[in-house]
Chains A and B, each alone.
Chain A
């Protein structure tokens, strides 16, 4: 279980560019939930994800991951509990390392690393098996450099890497946004499949309201660094984008004028 309580974070404090990104953001994600997060530009989606991952430290508030207070822990000390797929397909993998080396890095996520060989024989079977589920033929290219793969293929491998070892939460930061529509669809389906099969707890940020409603079991909308609404179960079933917009306006009593919310 993940619980974030009253997170506050202001960038550039005391400067003319002062930007409060999180203003009392609270969210609890239960075991096995797949939450989609939407919000306009600057709503604090990415900052929230970065705060959960440890890439930015919040000014105040508390983050608890499976009964451990991680609020002040740096990224690498949270990695055993928090898995992540980035928006940029190039960011989640190392292009000058081979596919098997990338997977070998991921299989030790959050564990201590010693002087034994990184790519162990006993891993190879598992690597091939999981790569085969992608149906991209990568299981026969273990030794190939990651840089030889397309953006979509790399994003698919990033997903595999994130799910290779158990985690308390999987963070997906608009991980299909940089892909062409067909590839984005493939990666999204793969995401759902992996999350369902492994019963993962996941938090997916997306720009598309449609995607937010079609995927996952709960949808949260952020606005100005806070949760404006949180919808799950029966209330969420059959909900459409226009209903969501209506809900948002009702909640906030203001007009949504950001086109990006309607896209997709």
Chain B
């Protein structure tokens, strides 16, 4: 079974990837905009936060700047798509590739250590909790606050307009919604959340690294799809809960797979396990309804 440290570690990263899943829910599900920018905006958030913290900035302020940087990256992708008519997927790949250089420029080197710096986590260590429980507590709070804010936003006039834009753009235009503006706002918000995740990840891991974004999109999608398999996303709040729950389940599954000696898996098998888990998450809901169909009487 999992050790305490491995368990809390999985919760910690799960909560961070929950924020990524929120972002991916916004782009993929709400706006129907397949956005791969996140592989670049995640390390962008980390790089911005890390450099500002090293400069002596307040860590929360630095994290806020990371969110803004993520939003700017998302806005670039969306503008490439909306204003220059570049295919959405391609636009996001262009931004992602460009961000690799930008991130190296920001940091000046491939990675930056934060181990001795004051981070958003530092004050929380005085609460008397075990070392590995502190990030879980803080990130749970961040996830809850983000979830509530996003939920309120989705229920607002602007949020509803954004949902209509993704679901039926022609109808949205006929209702007077500037669909292009909604796409820019939505993809920016999405990447702002991913920038936040990157900033928190760097602070909890004690370093920002230019390669830390590789595969973030797949992990976020795995969390989203896995979560939707567990919690049917029939309402906005359920869809958002599914993001967090999916991300935590995903990290726990990874931790379990790596810690179970019988399986004989090692850290380098991570991407293989991810691919298997995503496949299962996509296939399982279908299997579930099949089984349910077999054991329940059919109603007309």
Contacts and interface: CB of A to CB of B under 8 A. Distances in A.
Given A97-B160, A113-B161, A114-B156, A80 B174 contact: no
A31 interface: no
Contacts of B160: 97, 101, 104-105, 113, 118-119
A247 interface: no
A110 B143 CA distance: 35
Contacts of A116: 156-157
Given A97-B163, A105-B164, A92 B171 contact: yes
A119 B175 contact: no
Interface residues of B, number: 22
Given A91-B170, A97-B164, A115 B158 contact: yes
A154 to B, nearest CB: 11
B155 A119 contact: yes
A224 B191 CA distance: 49
A106 B158 CA distance: 13
B174 A79 contact: yes
A75 B173 contact: yes
A83 B157 CA distance: 19
A55 B178 CA distance: 13
B171 to A, nearest CB: 6
B173 A105 contact: no
Given A76-B179, A84-B174, A91-B170, A113 B157 contact: yes
Contacts of B97: none
Nearest to A53: B174
Contacts, number: 91
A220 B63 CA distance: 63
A10 to B, nearest CB: 21
Interface in A25-63: 53-55
Interface in A66-84: 74-77, 79-80, 83-84
Interface residues of A, number: 34
Interface in B139-160: 153, 155-160
A191 to B, nearest CB: 17
Name which of B153, B159, B171 has the most chain A CB atoms within 10 A of its CB.
B171
Contacts of B170: 55, 86, 91
B161 A76 contact: no
A96 interface: yes
A84 B168 CA distance: 14
B163 A94 contact: yes
Name which of B170, B175, B177 has the most chain A CB atoms within 10 A of its CB.
B175
Nearest to B29: A96
A108 interface: yes
Given A101-B160, A114-B156, A118-B160, A76 B171 contact: no
Contact of A113 (B158, B173, B174): B158
Contacts of B177: 76, 79, 105, 113
Interface of A: 53-55, 74-77, 79-80, 83-84, 86, 91-97, 101, 104-106, 108-111, 113-119
A101 B155 CA distance: 9
Contact of A79 (B156, B157, B158, B173): B173
A88 to B, nearest CB: 9
Interface string B162-187: 01100110111111111100000000
Contacts of A119: 155, 160
Contacts of A108: 157, 175-176
Nearest to B174: A84
Contacts of B156: 113-118
Given A116-B157, A118-B156, A119-B155, A97 B176 contact: no
A74 B170 CA distance: 12
Contacts of B179: 76
Given A105-B175, A118-B155, 8 more contacts: A83-B174, A84-B174, A113-B157, A114-B158, A115-B157, A115-B158, A117-B156, A118-B157
Contacts of B163: 94, 96-97, 101
Nearest to B178: A76
Contact of A94 (B153, B158, B168): B168
Nearest to A96: B167
B168 A111 contact: no
Given A94-B167, A95-B167, A97-B164, A76 B176 contact: yes
15 contacts: A54-B173, A75-B173, A76-B172, A76-B177, A79-B175, A83-B174, A91-B171, A93-B168, A94-B163, A104-B157, A104-B160, A105-B164, A105-B175, A109-B175, A118-B159
The 7 closest A-B pairs by CB, nearest first: A79-B176, A113-B157, A110-B176, A118-B160, A75-B173, A94-B167, A118-B157
Nearest to B154: A118
Nearest to B161: A113
B179 to A, nearest CB: 7
A97 B167 CA distance: 9
Given A76-B177, A109-B176, A110-B176, A93 B157 contact: no
